[in-house]
Amino acid sequence: MAKIKKISLPSGAQLDFSGPALVMAVINCTEDSFYEGSHNSSAEEAIDRALRAEEDGATIIDFGAESTRPGARYINAEEELRRLIPVIEGFRKKSKLPVSVDTRKIEVARSVLNAGADIINDISALEDSPEIAPLCAEKQAALILMHKKGVPDTMQEAPYYDYVVAEVCDYLGAAAKRALNAGVEAQRIILDPGIGFGKRTEDNLDLIAHFDAIAALGYYSLMALSRKSFIGDITGEPVSDRLAGTIASNAWALGKGANIIRVHDVREARDLVQLYHAFSSR
């Protein structure tokens, strides 16, 4: 399907896919992320980190208040909103950058879009709250659909696939069709294979190596590889020392068609996408 390159968003911001890949900055409104360097203990700290990410070259800010690291337990919507709304409202007063919110709950999605968000990043791909799709259609928000197997609390307990690339492609294609049927425009749908979400190292490597199969589904695509465990499995490095592995992995993903990379280290990712674009456009 033909892709529109510039997507207008509810706040008046825009997703511009006409140039280098977009850099989505991870901003955690919680203290229990797997990467200690991304912890924020207050709304003010999260807002300041988001503003620094914008200065460093982020083109999307992704706020999240419910940790989805392996072993994490879900929180209720009230607590999620208590953490999110002051951050979104405070950031929106100071920035016009596209704002994404990592949530799987319809109550949270509705409230954050009303508070100034533009994108719902749904790790459940509409399974937990199918109502998110018609809400995004109504608001003309973008919608990220991610593959996972199981829930974060138990998803890494012996996951198994016969043909992981085909299975993830089939799952994401079906999720995208559900969004389309609910009225979400195709150019507002973004697909994420969910690296590390109910997957073994070999599954993650297969999905990254063959990411072009997901890009070929015809929607915009996102890769979230930043400092993840597969990098440590290959390099032996702890989370704090996985930046080089993250850059190498993201470079491969860009070559396989990723339109957005979701990262903790924005300046380095900005340099990567600018250089990749300079080389690939020659």
Could you give the residue numbers annotated as active site? 228, 262
Residue listed under structure tokens 């198994």: 160
Q: Are strands 60-64 and 22-28 parallel, antiparallel or unpaired?
A: parallel
Distances (CA, A) of 274 to 59, 235, 278: 12, 26, 6
Helix (H) / strand (E) element for 132: namely helix 132-139
Spatial separation of the C-alpha atoms in residues 226 and 28, rounded to whole Å: 14
For 121, phi then psi, to 5°, come to -105, 95
Q: Answer yes or no: are the C-beta atoms of 6 and 15 closer than 8 Å.
A: yes
| Residue where the block lists tokens 């890009």 | 215
* Dihedral angle of Cα 94, 98, 99, 100, to the nearest 10 degrees: -170
